[in-house]
Amino acid sequence: MRFDAGPLRADWLLFWAVCLSFFIGLSATPLIDLDEGAFTAATQEMFARGDFLATYLNGVPRYDKPILIYWLQAASAALFGFSEFALRLPSALMGLAWTLFAFGFARRLFDARTARHCALVTATAMGPALIARLAIADALLDACLAAAVFAQYLWLREGKTRDLYLAWAAMGFGFLAKGPVALLLPLGTLFLHCLTTRRLGDFIVFVTRGRALLLWAAIALPWYLAVTWTNGPGFVENFFLRHNVGRFSGAMGSYHAYGLFYYFPVALLVTLPYTGLLLAVIARWRRLWQDDFARYAIINFTLVFALFSLSANKLPHYLLYGSAALFVLLGRELRSTRSPWLLLPALVMFVSALFVPDLLEALHPRANPYYQTMLVDLDAHFDLAYRLPLLAATLLVAVMMIDRRAAVPLKLAACGLIAVLCLALVFLPALGGVLQQPIKQAGLIARDIDAPLVMADINTPSFGVYAGRVVERRAPRAGDVVLTRSDRLDQLPPHTMLYRSKSVALARILP
């Protein structure tokens, strides 16, 4: 009994520490452009326009995403004011929700201690840990997808009607968060699982349950209908055709057109520091395929991996859409692991993070002119305050690899928590300071100036969030205060300089 009590208490302490870690450091990093800036500026414009039905960015309609994340950010900002903390809080809460969904699912499927391991892996793998700290729609979508794939598997396993309704409700909220992907991926996973287990009849029952479909429609469709009725078909046409079909096919331009094998290294990175567990699962996939839940997790992940590998536009966080069941599977595998070599990816991760500034310095001459100027003060941000915590983490992991007293699962989960804290309090603040601090400072200066605000030859929407105003993107006119690139100042009309730092300049156009 004494032997088990310590690890059990340590598991619980680590679990609650990880839950609290979602809210640490949310204000430590400036909003990162483009994505965070675009989402939060659009939320701010809802208040400026007094319109909480449709989204606008820089004064023009924004068709990129549905409404739910903007409503959540608006509610948080109404409670706490417009700050990095408030705007990122919905994502942090969704990261915590995803973790608790994983815990509850694994507890029903396995036992309480395995459930804690599954929750720890979910919360401290680098993919979820990062996405839950960004003020964008993806943490919300990930939480909805997790709830959907967990609930539909439990329905398949236990046949409880409430799980079927929960799955459809989660897909409804996901549809309101990011559109068709929230419906297609869970249903595609369920179909393939039922196909491979010869249970297609269960799939047909799942997709033809009338009340569940009505529940989905009641959650997902009213806003789409309302925005179409009020503003015309622009959002529906642009969102579904351009931002869904167009992104996949490349018809709207392949802005993130990476190769077919792009997601192989991404999978290794988003699962850090549990990459060793992922490789072990891949090596044993044939045996795991005989296990019903493992098969379901493999299908879910492989479907997303294959689908987005074929997409013309690729981003790393797309792989998280199929990772909820995979992280539970890794948590189950973590419970029985014994090899200290599974800590090696954590060691490599911390050592690599130590040398990020050196890598950026090496890339400096090859960057485009904008980023060349932004990177001139690397040493001011990647200083001893950056390197010492990472060096300490590296040494700690090395000691844990040698020391055999604590159990490997506990040590690996502790590495995950340390990595999360380093991400939130060390890495992101340093990177954000290099790339975003001048834009934040320009916005804070513009906040106190009574003049129209304009962005010219630059697209950094977080400027408007910090300025607290709607910022137009157009050619500047007399009397405007304009944010532009330092190397484009000679293209402005006669002006006076208000602020200049690295690649960013703020100027007032003379009357």
How far, in Å, CA of 26 to CA of 83, rounded?
9
Radius of gyration of the chain (CA): 24
Quick one: DSSP state of residue 30? Answer: P
For 32, other C-beta atoms within 10 Å of its C-beta total 20
Residue 32 pLDDT greater than 90, yes or no: yes
First-to-last alpha carbon distance for the chain, in angstroms, is 81
The continuous run of DSSP H or E covering 145 comes out as: helix 138-158
The tens digit of pLDDT for each residue in 357-408 reads 999 888 877 778 888 888 888 999 999 999 999 999 999 999 999 988 888 9
* Averaged pLDDT score across all residues of the chain: 92
More confident residue, 425 or 232: 425
Region 415-431: what's the mean pLDDT?
96
Choice among 334-338, 412-416, 441-445 with the minimum mean pLDDT = 334-338
Residue 355 makes CB contacts below 8 A (sequence gap 6+) with none
How far, in Å, CA of 160 to CA of 9, rounded?
33
| Residue 20 vs residues 16, 123, 231: alpha-carbon distances, Å | 6, 10, 41
The tens digit of pLDDT for each residue in 141-199 reads 999 999 999 999 999 999 999 999 999 999 999 999 999 999 999 999 999 999 999 99
- The per-residue pLDDT for 244 is 60
- The per-residue pLDDT for 3 is 32
Choice among 228-237, 382-391, 453-462 with the minimum mean pLDDT = 228-237
pLDDT more than 90, % of the chain: 81
CA-angle at 44, arms to 38 and 45, nearest 5°: 90
Token reading at 445: 């200066």
The tens digit of pLDDT for each residue in 35-63 reads 999 999 999 999 999 999 999 999 898 88
Region 205-234: what's the mean pLDDT?
93
Region 490-509: what's the mean pLDDT?
94
* Model confidence band, residue 1 (pLDDT cutoffs 50, 70, 90): very low
- The per-residue pLDDT for 257 is 58
Residue 272 pLDDT greater than 80, yes or no: yes
* Contact in structure between 133 and 25 (CB atoms under 8 Å): yes
Region 410-415: what's the mean pLDDT?
92
* Model confidence band, residue 251 (pLDDT cutoffs 50, 70, 90): very low
The tens digit of pLDDT for each residue in 214-228 reads 999 999 999 999 999
How far, in Å, CA of 99 to CA of 120, rounded?
8
Residue 87 pLDDT greater than 60, yes or no: yes
- The per-residue pLDDT for 289 is 96
The tens digit of pLDDT for each residue in 130-145 reads 999 999 999 999 999 9
Query: At residue 499, what is the residue type?
Result: Y
More confident residue, 250 or 336: 336
The tens digit of pLDDT for each residue in 91-131 reads 999 999 999 999 999 999 999 999 999 999 999 999 999 99
Residue 11 pLDDT greater than 50, yes or no: yes
* Model confidence band, residue 232 (pLDDT cutoffs 50, 70, 90): confident
The tens digit of pLDDT for each residue in 292-330 reads 999 999 999 999 999 999 887 888 999 999 999 999 999
Residue 254 pLDDT greater than 50, yes or no: no
- The per-residue pLDDT for 43 is 97
